[in-house]
Amino acid sequence: MKITNKYNLPDTILNVLDRPTYSKGKAHISATELLNSPRIVQLKRKYWEFIETDASEMVWALFGSAVHNILEHGKGENHIVEQRLGTDIDGWRLSGAIDLQEEDEDGIGIKDYKVTGAWSVMNEKQDWHNQLNVYAYLVEKEAKKKVKSLQIVAIVRDWTARDTVKDGYPQSPIATIDIPLWPMEEREQYIRERVHLHSAAYFEMETNSELPQCSEEDMWEKPTSYAVIKVGGVRAKSVHKTLEEAQHALNQLKGYNLEVRQGDRTRCAKYCQVSEFCTQYKEYLSTKEQA
Ligand code: SF4
């Protein structure tokens, strides 16, 4: 990957960004890649040397690494930090590095640090459940130790005391979130299904076939919606998923207009490193242009 430096950041920052601290070694896939869209993983693998990212866009990843490094120094006697575990499943090797395992008589408590926004804490991510349950699988299968609990330790980068009155807002800049532990069979089934999706995408990339499409969830898609708004007003009386529904609502009213709120694929538009190599996104943009 080429890292540009549009804002003339100091060399030390560039050097650190150029020296990644995590490698999946000889594994086919890491735990975090397993959760990701197979299309993104394969496009990154193919175009890695052509992907361009500015150093300024990597600041939160850098901050996350810094937090992980400093917290390693907080290791206690019953702690295992940054343990890397690997397992074989249907011919693929999966690896994962676990931030912290607290070993007690009744089992292991797994903790994963996240430097994240308050919004993510208030709208818990399914990815967190998936990732921690993959770690629980690795610990029970490979380290042969019982897992008793899973937790995210969120360091909330945009926390403000002023917002703590809001419902669900974290009460301190560090929030610990319990994550449900799935039964072992469910963890294994999840991993197996993801491995199959990724190995199929790998094969398709190797044979120059069409890659599987990203899902709406993968693309963080906000669908187009249709709002019925009073003439001269700002707030919608009602918002509809289809134009037909909105027209129907509009026909019942006098003095109202229809406003089309264009949807978007937020990840593709702003956060996907491979968007310029992605035919799915290019096709979406050209359809949108023609609409
Ligand atoms: S640009 Fe969008 S559709 Fe393409 S790989 Fe990225 S997230 Fe998926």
Atom in ligand 1 nearest the alpha carbon of residue 220: 7
Query: pLDDT digit string (tens) for 233-273?
Result: 889 999 999 999 999 999 999 999 999 988 899 999 999 99
The amino acid that residue 53 corresponds to is: T
Among 270, 272, 282, say which to mutate for ligand 1: greatest number of ligand atoms within 8 Å of CB: 272
Predicted confidence band of residue 24 (pLDDT cuts 50, 70, 90): confident
Q: What does the pLDDT average to over 187-212?
A: 97
Please report which confidence band the pLDDT of residue 287 belongs to, taking 50, 70 and 90 as the band edges: confident
Pocket test for ligand 1, best of 36, 275, 277, 282 (most atoms within 8 A of CB): 275
The contacts of residue 236 (CB under 8 Å, 6+ apart) are 227, 228, 229, 259
Q: What average pLDDT score do residues 179-194 get?
A: 98
Provide the residue count of the chain.
291
Q: Which residue has the tokens 């640090």?
A: 113
What is the per-residue pLDDT for 125? 87
Stretch (H or E) spanning 154: strand 147-156
If pLDDT is split at 50, 70 and 90, which confidence band does 26 have? Answer: confident
List CB contacts of 265: < 8 A, sequence separation 6 or more: 219, 220, 221, 222, 281, 284
State in Å: Cα 237 to ligand 1 middle. 34
Closest ligand 1 atom to Cα of 284: 3
Please tell me whether residue 84 adopts helix, strand or coil conformation: strand
Identify the residue whose tokens are 């199929």. Answer: 200
**pLDDT over 90, % of the chain:** 84
Please tell me the distance from the alpha carbon of residue 113 to that of residue 175, in angstroms, as a whole number: 10
- Residue range 138-162: mean pLDDT, rounded: 97
- Output the pTM of the full model: 0.88
Section 160-185 average pLDDT: 96
pLDDT of 289 reads: 81
User: Which segment of 66-70, 82-86, 157-161, 279-283 scores lowest on mean pLDDT?
Assistant: 66-70
Mark out the alpha helices in the chain (DSSP H runs). Answer: 11-17, 31-35, 38-47, 59-72, 118-122, 126-142, 184-206, 243-251, 266, 279-290
| pLDDT value at residue 107 | 97
Residues 59-92 pLDDT 10s: 888 888 889 889 988 999 999 999 999 999 999 9
Note whether 95 and 82 are within 8 A (CB): no
Q: Architecture of 2-206 per CATH?
A: Alpha-Beta Complex (3.90)
| Banded pLDDT at 285 (limits 50, 70, 90) | very high
Ligand 1 first shell, C-beta below 6 A: 37, 39-40, 43, 214, 218-219, 265, 267-268, 272, 274-275, 278, 280-281
Contact 67, 115 (CB under 8 A): yes
Q: Considering the chain, what is the average pLDDT of its residues?
A: 94
Residue whose Cα lies nearest atom 8 of ligand 1: it is 214
pLDDT in the model for residue 22: 64
Q: Which range has the worst mean pLDDT, 105-109, 138-142, 257-261? A: 257-261
Which of 42, 43, 44 to probe ligand 1 with, by most ligand atoms within 8 A of CB?
43
pLDDT at 187 over 70: yes
Residue spans of the domains in the chain: they are 2-206, 221-290
Dihedrals phi, psi of 185, to nearest 5 degrees:
-65, -35
